[in-house]
């Protein structure tokens, strides 16, 4: 009985009520407005100096995507009327010497990859190509085709790059490698790429969302410029003791509160903290992955056998059925809260653009949490229906996979 009372209290602690969601939306709007006005805000509201495509763009454009230890180069053909042609793509793997060595060597390597791709597809290195560059690291922008790296993340530490314009560095490397025709004409991040890639084929797409390892969103303001919200840093949230513990142990305490409650990087750690309270017999390992959460929630096998196998895989043997049932409940509580908070954030952006939700909106979403978690997309739709009632039918959520490179090509066509 005592365990049941404790579990019921924890359920209430992690459940986000509708009044809380409505307060979230009001607070989010205030933070958005402060950010747009240049006032101190948890939402950076970064100007991208980019606009959505019209769908009429035509031609062949090169696209680059650097967001981790893989670098992708794509040639995308746009046929107009929202239609696309062939999109050959090649992925190159960066080694540690590229990510942690000298910045000049990193950009020389990237230029070499581009040259190898052009040679493979018989592209003239002297011919003019507009190139879009998706660079998923924090940058400060002054216009569409430049961006100063604020700081490296994702275990990158290449020297001589922080505080420098990454577009300029790559353009110099391209010229030095003999590629004189290709020029970076637009710099964007994965969130903007997701919006742009989908809006080329669906003109009513006006929100791009990432729900994966991290989380973020963008949308077009009234003047048409796409704004990068950086919503992972939203901090007007009711946090639990588990959230505070995860934040304390993180590499950036006091920052990215929404991201630490929603994204794949942190879901497993919140569950690990909660499981330590519910299941003192079992100690989940640090770095408990969000993909494990998906496996556990999808497990309908007898005795939760698949969960038992997963626990054995991470070094935990001898779990009892009741332990696995409690672990599954912990996963449901944490991921359901994440989906409701993501829904609240999406609702906030939609009502910023369209307060009465009077027109149709397509929300392009990329990221493993949204794509691979068995219940996440369903929970978001259900919560949006709870928020908007019958008007939720005007909201279309679309999984937009591998948009980083495609969006870069499309945005290059607008330059």
pLDDT of residue 1: 47
From residue 195, how far is each of 6, 53, 73, 272 by CA, in Å?
43, 10, 19, 33
pLDDT of residue 138: 85
- Both tokens of residue 93? 């793997």
**pLDDT tens-place values along the chain, 415 residues long:** 446 667 888 899 999 999 999 999 999 999 999 999 999 999 999 999 999 999 999 999 999 999 888 999 999 999 999 999 888 999 999 999 999 999 999 999 999 999 999 999 999 999 999 999 999 888 989 899 999 998 888 879 999 999 999 999 999 999 999 999 999 999 999 999 999 999 999 999 999 999 998 999 999 999 999 999 999 999 999 999 999 999 999 988 999 999 999 999 999 999 999 999 888 788 899 889 999 999 999 999 999 999 999 999 999 999 999 999 999 999 999 999 999 999 999 999 999 999 999 999 999 999 999 999 999 999 999 999 999 999 999 999 999 987 888 999 999 999 8
Summarised one tens digit per residue, pLDDT across range 254-286 is: 999 999 999 999 999 999 999 998 887 888 998
- Both tokens of residue 361? 């909106």
Strand partners, 228: 46, 218
The active-site residue out of 145, 190, 247, 366 is 190
Let me know if 154 is a catalytic residue. yes
pLDDT of residue 5: 61
The active-site residue out of 95, 97, 154, 312 is 154
- What pTM value is reported for the model? 0.93
Please list, residue by residue across 62-80, b when 16 or more beta carbons sit within 10 angstroms of its beta carbon and e when fewer do.
Answer: bbbbbbeeebbbbbbebee
Q: State how far the Cα of 118 lies from the Cα of 121, in Å rounded to an integer.
A: 5
Q: What is the DSSP letter of 37?
A: T
Let me know if 190 is a catalytic residue. yes
Could you write out the DSSP letters of every residue in 220-265?
E-TTSEEEE--GGG-------HHHHHHHHHSSSTTS-TTHHHHSHH
pLDDT of residue 136: 86
Domains annotated for the chain, with CATH where assigned, are: 2-43+208-399 (3.40.367.20), 49-201+403-413 (3.30.420.40)
**Residue with token string 């449901």:** 332
């Amino acid at each position: 009985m005592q365990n049941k009372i404790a579990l019921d209290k924890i359920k209430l602690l992690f459940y986000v009520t509708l009044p809380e969601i409505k307060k979230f939306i009001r607070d989010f709007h205030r933070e958005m407005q402060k950010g747009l006005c240049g006032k101190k805000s948890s939402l950076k509201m970064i100007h991208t100096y980019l606009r959505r495509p019209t769908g009429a763009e035509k031609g062949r454009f090169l696209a680059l995507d650097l967001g981790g230890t893989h670098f992708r180069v794509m040639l995308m053909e746009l046929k107009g009327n929202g239609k696309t042609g062939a999109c050959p793509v090649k992925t190159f793997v960066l080694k540690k010497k590229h990510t942690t060595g000298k910045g000049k060597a990193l950009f020389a390597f990237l230029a070499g990859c581009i040259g190898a791709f052009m040679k493979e597809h018989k592209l003239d290195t002297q011919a003019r190509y507009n190139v879009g560059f998706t660079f998923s690291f924090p940058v400060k922008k002054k216009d569409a085709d430049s961006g100063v790296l604020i700081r490296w993340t994702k275990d990158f530490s290449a020297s001589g790059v922080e505080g420098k314009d990454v577009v300029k560095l790559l353009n110099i490397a391209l010229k030095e490698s003999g590629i004189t025709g290709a020029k970076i004409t637009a710099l964007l991040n994965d969130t903007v790429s997701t919006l742009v890639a989908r809006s080329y084929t669906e003109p009513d797409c006006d929100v791009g969302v990432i729900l994966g390892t991290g989380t973020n969103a963008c949308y077009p303001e009234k003047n048409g410029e796409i704004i990068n919200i950086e919503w992972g840093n939203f901090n007007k949230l009711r946090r639990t003791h588990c959230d505070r513990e995860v934040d304390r142990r993180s590499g950036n305490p006091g920052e990215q509160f929404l991201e630490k409650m929603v994204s794949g990087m942190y879901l497993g750690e919140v569950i690990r903290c909660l499981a330590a309270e519910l299941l003192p017999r079992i100690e989940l390992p640090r770095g408990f992955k969000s993909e494990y959460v998906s496996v556990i929630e999808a497990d309908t096998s007898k005795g939760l056998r698949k969960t038992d196998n997963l626990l054995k895989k991470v070094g935990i043997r001898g779990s009892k059925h009741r332990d696995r049932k409690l672990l599954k409940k912990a996963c449901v509580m944490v991921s359901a809260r994440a989906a409701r908070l993501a829904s609240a954030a999406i609702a906030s952006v939609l009502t910023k653009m369209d307060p009465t939700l009077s027109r149709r909106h397509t929300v392009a979403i990329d990221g493993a949490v949204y794509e691979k978690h068995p219940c996440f997309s369903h929970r978001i739709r259900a919560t949006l229906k709870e928020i908007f009632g019958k008007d939720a039918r005007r909201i279309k959520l679309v999984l937009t996979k591998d948009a980083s490179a495609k969006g870069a090509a499309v945005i290059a066509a607008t330059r």
